[in-house]
Structure 1
Amino acid sequence: MAALPTAAFKPVQEVLEGEGVVPGRYIKHKDEHTQEDGDVLLPMMDCTIIDLALLSSSSPQELAKLHSALNSWGCVQVVNHGMTSSFLDEVRGVIEQFFALPTNEKQKYFRKEESGSSDAPLEGYANDDVYQQKTLNWNDNMHLLLFPLAKCKFELWPQKPSNFRTILENYTTKSKMLFDSLLRAMARSLKLDENNFFELWGNDEEDTILGRFNFYPRCPASNRVDGLKPHGDGSAITIVLQDNKVEGLQILKDGKWFRVPIIPEAILLFIGDQMEIASNGIFKSPAHKVVVSPYNDRVSLAMFCIPNPEKEIGPLKELINEDRPQLYKRLKDYGKIFFQYYPENDADRLIHTVKINY
């Protein structure tokens, strides 16, 4: 579906101007509500904190923690990753500054490409009006290809704030190093050669990192809207920089929702569907969502590490045996299929359709 003309686009930031009433297209239908949509405070998840320095030194205890967390929750928070808290605040700062710009300035980077294009990922500034979903998410966002640099469309990168490009290039470089280190550690945690997962992601020129910059405006009817609907990620791994003050991210485990804690100096790692497939189901790709605050705006940056779509993805042969047979089909272009497939609930996620039933 083609993006809407710029003239028809209205940022979520502006929809409450005037009467201050949340439009019906953002209000969840009755079948989308859960018991957690009231004033009950959800429990905090038991979030594992991984020290990258210890992980890189092959600490048995740290590798065991990593394996357990990715098998149980599908996510970890990583500290001692080589990025200072002040630098992470700079990254958050340029995101906040971009979304604070006047609408006519942000619209210079409006998303113009065809939705679901097989030639390139969606890039530019927009919100879910572009997709015209059943019920819209309460957020504005911007997608940018961040890696490899040779494929970046810098004409879509904001010129304001002036340090946006410098900071994001630096952050992307450091995040890719973090990603590579984690891939090696995940393989070691499974008692594999540390380079085994590079069958999924390596030095392939078609491997990409797509960034989604999110702005979740405060909403007086916060319990009646979704910041971001429940979903899993179609990536191999997703690297998330959370807001350092405002909570919002929640994760599903055993049919119950849990809050994800804010650790300002940490980088959050989510397992994506393609890594669940490659690990033959040992590492889990969790469903997660974002709720909004009635009092505070919130920003975040999600970086989706996506393998070459022409590369066949399937369980590593070393992880298939009599006790654990192959649990997933082998397939190509998972990412393209994923972005054309928008499930209404966790049971309908694409990852479930590629499982092998014995």
Structure 2
Amino acid sequence: MRGMGRALGLGDEFFLDLVGERGGADARFTYYPPCPRPDLVYGLKPHTDNSVVTVLLLDRDVGGLQVLLRGEEWVDVPVLGRDELLVVVGEEMEIMSNAAFRAPTHRVVASGRERMSLVLFYQPEPHRDLEPAEELVGGDRPAMYRKLKAKAFADGFWDTFALGERTIDFLNIKVGRQQQQELQEAAGVSV
């Protein structure tokens, strides 16, 4: 998160301050048994992560993670080296960064070989507001999402996952053009 703040010229602590000192972290260890017909099943269906960031320690011998590229093509994530972690942007970061960082749709495909992964999901404090950071909203870049509590966003995740939708879309967090103009006018930004 420090690097993401730096990349946007906002400083090392910017996103850490938005998440809060007591942001949550959940871990999930997943075992994928060998599948006799991997062409017929997913290891995990397409989804985006309900997190600020997700850190993955993938199986170092067997791949299976895929990312949807430009909404058209599934691309394999290469098997990582022995000491490498994969960091994935979550939808909460997409909201806070006003879509400067976007949560990728990804899935896990089944394999004829067993594999394991460890995934850590980092979330903001539940009472925090999730909204585009003021520093990333302006006349040339209107607010892309409306404000809601981090807990409300987290509570909506499992319903959206079951339906195969993004939480941002399911909870109707995206702001339309008319709403963007109203938000800008309320914030005193000339349109």
Question: Could you say which TM-score interval applies, normalised by the shorter chain?
Answer: 0.7 to 0.9
User: Corresponding residue for 1:302?
Assistant: 119
1:109-158 deviation per Cα after TM superposition (whole angstroms, max 9, x unaligned): xxxxxxxxxxxxxxxxxxxxxxxxxxxxxxxxxxxxxxxxxxxxxxxxxx
**1:203: Cα distance to partner?**
1.3
1:188-224 deviation per Cα after TM superposition (whole angstroms, max 9, x unaligned): 11011322112322312xx211001101111111110
Is residue 203 from structure 1 mapped to residue 42 from structure 2 by the alignment? no
Runs of 4+ with >3 A deviation = none
How many residue pairs match? The answer is: 171
Structure with the larger helix share: 1
Show structure 1 runs of 5+ residues with no match. 1-182
Tell me which of 86, 101, 104 is aligned to 1:283. Answer: 101
User: Corresponding residue for 2:158?
Assistant: 339
Structure with the larger strand share: 2
TM-score (norm 1): 0.46
TM-score (norm 2): 0.85
User: Corresponding residue for 1:42?
Assistant: none
CA contact 1:343–1:349 (8 Å) conserved in 2: no
Q: 5 Å matches for 1:253-332?
A: 253-254=69-70, 255-264=72-81, 265-294=83-112, 296-332=113-149
Show structure 2 runs of 5+ residues with no match. 178-191
User: Corresponding residue for 1:219?
Assistant: 35
User: Corresponding residue for 2:65?
Assistant: 249
**1:306: Cα distance to partner?**
1.2
Letter in 2 for 1:249: L
Hey, what's the Cα distance between the residues in 1 that align with 2:131 and 2:108? 29
Hey, what's the Cα distance between the residues in 2 that align with 1:186 and 1:298? 30
Partner SS state of residue 49, structure 2: coil
Hey, what's the Cα distance between the residues in 2 that align with 1:350 and 1:210? 18
The higher radius of gyration belongs to 1
Partner SS state of residue 67, structure 2: strand
Hey, what's the Cα distance between the residues in 2 that align with 1:283 and 1:326? 14
